[in-house]
Structure 1
Amino acid sequence: MARHNLSTVVSFEITRTLTKRRFWIATLIVPVIIGIVVALIVAANTSTDNSVTSQKDQKFSFSYSDASGVVDPAIVKSLGGTEASSGADAIAAVKSGDLDAYFAYPADPAKQATKVYGVDKGIFDNGKYSSVATRILTASAEAKVGDSKLSSLVQGTGPVEATTYDSSGNLSGGIGSVIPPLLFLALFYVVILLLGNQMLTSTLEEKENRVTEMILTTLNPTTLIIGKVISLFVVGIVQMLVFALPIVIGFLFFRNSLNLPAFDLSNLQIDPFQMVIGALLLIGGFILFTGTLVAVGAIMPTAKDAGQIFGVMIALMFVPFYAVTLIVSDPHSFIVQIFTWFPYSAPVTALLRNGFSSLSPAEAIGVVVEQFVLGLIVLQVAVRLFRYGSIEYTRKVSLTSILPRRQAAVGK
């Protein structure tokens, strides 16, 4: 009898689980996302390798000076370069934008750094200057391998020191200009990962405790949802400050004891437009993700059911991260454009592109508007779902079951 009961329970549970649509959605979404990630990694690596290879063949205006006597003028001429009459004049031409690059080859390029000065084209594209400078040395040295100091140049291992200038002729920030706007991306991940589950269960707690009816007798659903969103944002700020405080204290007062690497904050360059866009993308993305998770919590009867959707939301956040090399090296590719405009991958992708200065002002404003508009729409949907789903304790609320009620309410 007990064995019969066991088989009945097992059969019932398996059948009930396998016939649920959300089980298959949650199950199949994992291999689909893995497939997308693998495809993105392959595409990103291929694109990056092609971009790095093509940098050696890119044509741009440049001049050079050679204190080593190694550089072959014929090779330079074939690449469109000329010999500089004066190093100072060549650098001035680069700063003004009249010349793309200037290469200063030292007396011993195998041991001394070749100095490269160029117009700032972005962190990734700036690599073309060093690539071409090294290519010239390598090609020139191949004919003179009998000289011992040129053996490393044939292998392309001579040191190169690159300096770039922005459109105003000022020294570009390099990695120092990338770090400040990327802090907003780190904050976005921290806030969503720390508060995501709380966003999801913020409306489920009252439902599971059967106190929703009492709350709604004294509060408007809109007031309740907006209040929860604001409180979550404040809690997120408090958590970020608490986590950041010991790091700041350790860096400022105990850096030597903790053997922390020195970091010169003066190298950081802050672009006001990038920082404003980063802040707006952070807030807009927070509103959209919070509204979505609150809406999911209003639909689902239990936290266990809602947890499956939470996993999908987190996966959407991390998919662009696997394509980071593609986003940096080829920001205008079709895949990157999809990630930039798809609402739930837009915050991460746009924040990455904003940090690496590949997000145009028009794209930045467009994505910000998209995040805020969709976020507010989702919040309104969450309010309506909570209004009708707050007293549904046993099953998931269907959107189709809400629409007729909305029409009836409008008719009255």
Structure 2
Amino acid sequence: MARHNLGTVISFEVTRTFKKKQFWLTTLLVPVILGIVIALIVISNTTTSSKVDSQKDATLRFTYSDASGRIDPTLATAFGGTVVADEAQAIADVKSGRSAAHFAYPAKPTKQATMVYGADLGIFDNGKYSSVATQLMVASAQAEIGDQTLTGLARGSFQVDAITYKDGAVSGGFLGAVAPLLFLLIFYVVIVMLGNQMLTSTLEEKESRVTEMILTTLNPTTLITGKIVSLFIIGLVQMVVFILPVLVGYLFFRTSLSLPDFDISQLIVNPGQMVVGALLLIGGFTLFMGTLVAAGAIMPTAKEASQVFGIMMALVFVPLYAASLVVSDPHALIVQLFTFFPYSAPVTAMLRNGLGSLGPVESGIVIAELFILGGIVLRLAVQLFRYGSVEYSKKVSLRTVFARSRG
């Protein structure tokens, strides 16, 4: 019977939510906006690419003076340049519109600025003058050196691959942090999307005055458990809807969106970090959802309950203000406080777990703390809902609830 009731609650809550137009409007709003943004970027980049392709064969006609003696005349001619002796006249020709541009290379290019004079082509197109002047000097320097390898080394055009070790094994570095930090992302998404809904889910029955009827046929524990499970299912649907346009954009429009080609096979997955991350996610979810259910059971209206939601959101985001300290000094006092304080522990511990600074002992303490306290809060939430579900006009007194439960 209990299992049947639990299934009934889950089915009812999921179906009721999916039938609400507001749910789908809210859920689809983000992917629709992302789709529009992706489409605009693709169209813009396609137009820009076409413009670049149409202009790639065009040459910039300019004059130049070279006090350094470093500019190769042959290359300058290929770039569209003509050397002049009278620099003042060349600048005057640019001002009057008789010449498109003039480059004045100084005697000491590394210590003095190269002056570029040109006709105004607009904020974005004016940059091509400096670009051509720079390319001509670089090309001339490369031609003077004569050795392409030496030229590349001088410009810093060489690759460095770093391998670091931790406890005798190759550490993952950034690629090793990506996978466990996904649990932190999921935690934020779930809490932000479902927190307010969890807070008000029990209030809907209270405000509609049907809780007395529900509790005559359904155990409060079954009801609360069913609501939590149903919200988790709803959250999975929302995450799939949110992720879908991102995947479509990456798979089919990666070039147009100028996205990096990320090789998933290069990710380093540490099984221990993944297990710890999953347990921290489940424990943190249990604690926060249990707290929100308890708050919803105490408050008489959704308006008053929303104040509690604001406080919970603040507790979720406060650890991010110390993120730089978590990275640089994970054993600092403030980081330790955030790690072990229950309502900042999930975020801080998952962040430290991803960065590899959360030790096994600390992991065990935080996980045990979250699960134990989460279970206590859920049990308290059930008690508050049982005794506070019929209190419609004022906040439920915790003293009264505990007195009744003892009696």
Quickly say closer, same or farther: Cα 1:326–1:168, change in 2 above 3 A: closer
Aligned to 2:214: 215
Quickly say closer, same or farther: Cα 1:381–1:177, change in 2 above 3 A: same
Structure 2 CA distance, aligned partners of 1:252 and 1:367?
A: 38
Aligned to 2:249: 250
For residue 394 of structure 2, give the secondary structure of its aligned residue in structure 1.
Answer: coil
Q: Does 1:317 align with 2:316?
A: yes
Measure how far apart 1:173 and its partner are: 2.2
Aligned to 2:372: 373
After TM superposition, the score normalised by the length of structure 2 is: 0.60
Aligned to 1:131: none
Instruction: Write the deviation string for residues 384-403 of structure 1: whole angstroms up to 9, x where unpaired.
Output: 00001100000000111112
Instruction: Write the deviation string for residues 219-256 of structure 1: whole angstroms up to 9, x where unpaired.
Output: 01111011111111111122112211221222122212
For residue 164 of structure 1, give the secondary structure of its aligned residue in structure 2.
Answer: coil
Q: Which amino acid in 2 is paired with 1:222? A: T
Structure 1 CA distance, aligned partners of 2:200 and 2:328?
A: 39
Q: Does 1:196 align with 2:198?
A: no
Q: Answer with 163-172 or 364-373: which moved more.
A: 163-172
Measure how far apart 1:160 and its partner are: 9.8
Q: What are the within-5 Å matches in structure 2 for residues 282-301 of structure 1?
A: 282-301=281-300
Aligned to 1:239: 238
Structure 1 CA distance, aligned partners of 2:172 and 2:256?
A: 30
For residue 162 of structure 2, give the secondary structure of its aligned residue in structure 1.
Answer: strand
Structure 1 CA distance, aligned partners of 2:323 and 2:392?
A: 42
Measure how far apart 1:158 and its partner are: 12
Aligned to 1:15: none
Structure 2 CA distance, aligned partners of 1:336 and 1:170?
A: 27
Aligned to 1:352: 351
Q: What are the within-5 Å matches in structure 2 for residues 13-162 of structure 1?
A: 161=160
Instruction: Write the deviation string for residues 93-141 of structure 1: whole angstroms up to 9, x where unpaired.
Output: xxxxxxxxxxxxxxxxxxxxxxxxxxxxxxxxxxxxxxxxxxxxxxxxx
Contact persistence 1:300–1:397 (CA under 8 A): yes
Structure 2 CA distance, aligned partners of 1:168 and 1:397?
A: 53
Structure 1 CA distance, aligned partners of 2:219 and 2:276?
A: 33
Structure 1 CA distance, aligned partners of 2:165 and 2:271?
A: 16
For residue 222 of structure 2, give the secondary structure of its aligned residue in structure 1.
Answer: helix
Q: Which amino acid in 1 is paired with 2:346? A: P
Aligned to 2:228: 229
Aligned to 1:328: 327
Q: Which amino acid in 2 is paired with 1:242? A: V
Quickly say closer, same or farther: Cα 1:313–1:168, change in 2 above 3 A: closer
Q: Which amino acid in 2 is paired with 1:371? A: L
Structure 1 CA distance, aligned partners of 2:198 and 2:233?
A: 13
Structure 2 CA distance, aligned partners of 1:321 and 1:249?
A: 30
Structure 2 CA distance, aligned partners of 1:305 and 1:314?
A: 15
Aligned-pair Cα RMSD in Å? 1.9
Q: Which amino acid in 1 is paired with 2:347? A: V
After TM superposition, the score normalised by the length of structure 1 is: 0.59
Aligned to 1:183: 182
Aligned to 1:118: none
Structure 2 CA distance, aligned partners of 1:335 and 1:206?
A: 41
Q: Which amino acid in 2 is paired with 1:252? A: L
Q: Which amino acid in 2 is paired with 1:261? A: P
Contact persistence 1:327–1:353 (CA under 8 A): yes
Quickly say closer, same or farther: Cα 1:363–1:161, change in 2 above 3 A: same
Q: Does 1:263 align with 2:284?
A: no
Aligned to 1:363: 362
Instruction: Write the deviation string for residues 28-61 of structure 1: whole angstroms up to 9, x where unpaired.
Output: xxxxxxxxxxxxxxxxxxxxxxxxxxxxxxxxxx
Q: Which amino acid in 1 is paired with 2:245? A: P
For residue 332 of structure 1, give the secondary structure of its aligned residue in structure 2.
Answer: coil
**Aligned sequence identity (%):** 64
How many corresponding residue pairs?
Answer: 252
Measure how far apart 1:191 and its partner are: 0.4
Contact persistence 1:339–1:345 (CA under 8 A): yes
For residue 194 of structure 1, give the secondary structure of its aligned residue in structure 2.
Answer: helix
Q: Which amino acid in 2 is paired with 1:248? A: L
Aligned to 1:132: none
Quickly say closer, same or farther: Cα 1:170–1:220, change in 2 above 3 A: closer
Contact persistence 1:282–1:347 (CA under 8 A): yes
Structure 2 CA distance, aligned partners of 1:171 and 1:246?
A: 35
Larger radius of gyration: 2
Q: Which amino acid in 2 is paired with 1:372? A: F
For residue 268 of structure 2, give the secondary structure of its aligned residue in structure 1.
Answer: coil
Measure how far apart 1:201 and its partner are: 0.3
Aligned to 2:64: none
Structure 2 CA distance, aligned partners of 1:222 and 1:385?
A: 11
Structure 2 CA distance, aligned partners of 1:380 and 1:183?
A: 29
Aligned to 1:394: 393
Structure 1 CA distance, aligned partners of 2:335 and 2:258?
A: 39
Contact persistence 1:173–1:267 (CA under 8 A): no
Structure 2 CA distance, aligned partners of 1:342 and 1:263?
A: 36
Structure 1 CA distance, aligned partners of 2:346 and 2:183?
A: 10
Q: Which amino acid in 1 is paired with 2:333? A: F
